Every structure is written in C-alpha cells, then in structure tokens.
Amino acid sequence: MASASSANLNAVRETMDVLLEISRLLNTGLDMESLSICVRLCEQGINPEALSSVIKELRKASETLKAPENCTN
C-alpha cells in the first residue's frame, strides 16, 4: 500500500514538473505554487479559460495599482 501511494506521489510530482516546464516555455509567469492552485481549481471544475481571464485581469489591476507608485519614486 505504501509503495502504491509513493508511486502516486512521484507521478503527481512528475506531472507538476512537466506542467511547470510548459508554463515556463509559454511565459505564463506562474510559479509552482500558483500553478498548483490553478491545477487544483481546474480539477474542481473551474473553467480554465475563465481562470486564465481572471489571472490576466488581476495582473492588469496589479500593474495599474503599481503605476502610481512608480511615478512617485
């Protein structure tokens, strides 16, 4: 039983490593933690395209909020 769960854990790690490499090749800017959260959300039924749109909008909002800081520095 322990070897089966160990094999499953290794498979999950390998899958996440591959997904992270694909993410880097596509210049998504997601780190392992963010990518893992996105994968879990998709596994729970969240639409991947909708999730992508939310991430893009949050990045735009973040850049907009940072822009005034850059002007004052």
**Is 46 part of any domain?**
yes
Looking at residue 57, its pLDDT comes to 97
| Burial zone of 66 (CB within 10 Å; 0-12 exposed, 13-18 middle, 19+ buried) | exposed
pLDDT at residue 72, rounded to an integer: 62
Asked whether residue 71 is domain-assigned, the answer is: no
pLDDT at site 73: 58
Residue tagged 């591959």 (tokens)? 18
Q: Does 51 map to a domain?
A: yes
Q: 70 in a domain, yes or no?
A: no
Number of structural domains (the chain) is 1
Q: Looking at the domain assignment, is residue 23 inside a domain? A: yes
Predicted local confidence at residue 5, as pLDDT: 87
Contact (Cβ atoms closer than 8 angstroms) between residue 48 and residue 42: yes
The list of the chain residues with pLDDT below 70 reads 1, 70-73
Domain that holds residue 51: 1-64
Residue 73 lies in a domain: no
In a domain, 42, yes or no: yes
